[in-house]
Amino acid sequence: MPLKKNVCHHIADLESLKNPGIDYCEECIKTGDTWLHLRVCQTCGKVHCCDSSPNRHAAKHYESTGHAVVIPAEKNAGAWAYCFVHQAMADVSHLK
């Protein structure tokens, strides 16, 4: 899949990747819920659960804050970024 094709300015403007190494969704922890994968907000560095998780906290964080871009929190998930505004995913392996 040619990921670069979908790059939007939110992703193109990233200068480095935020990944605090947190391995839980802080919103799910509060309510005792579980999650599938974790995403890191590239605006504020908060870690939330992905769209495949029951609570979709990363999407809710975007809806409440407008913070557009997330990357996977798991180091083995690859170097890509997703923009909620443009529903765009792009390779960011040039950043680290």
For Zn ion, the binding residues (CB under 5 A) are 8, 10, 25, 27-28, 35, 41, 43-44, 46, 49, 55, 57, 67, 83, 85-86
State the minimum distance, in angstroms, from the CB of residue 78 to Zn ion: 19
State the minimum distance, in angstroms, from the CB of residue 87 to Zn ion: 8
- Closer residue to Zn ion, CB minimum distance, 31 or 76: 31
Burial annotation 69-80 (CB, 10 A radius, 16+ → b, else e):
bbbbbeeeeebe
Question: In Å, how far are 27, 30, 51, 57, 72 from 80, measured between CA atoms?
Answer: 23, 28, 15, 19, 7
State the minimum distance, in angstroms, from the CB of residue 53 to Zn ion: 6
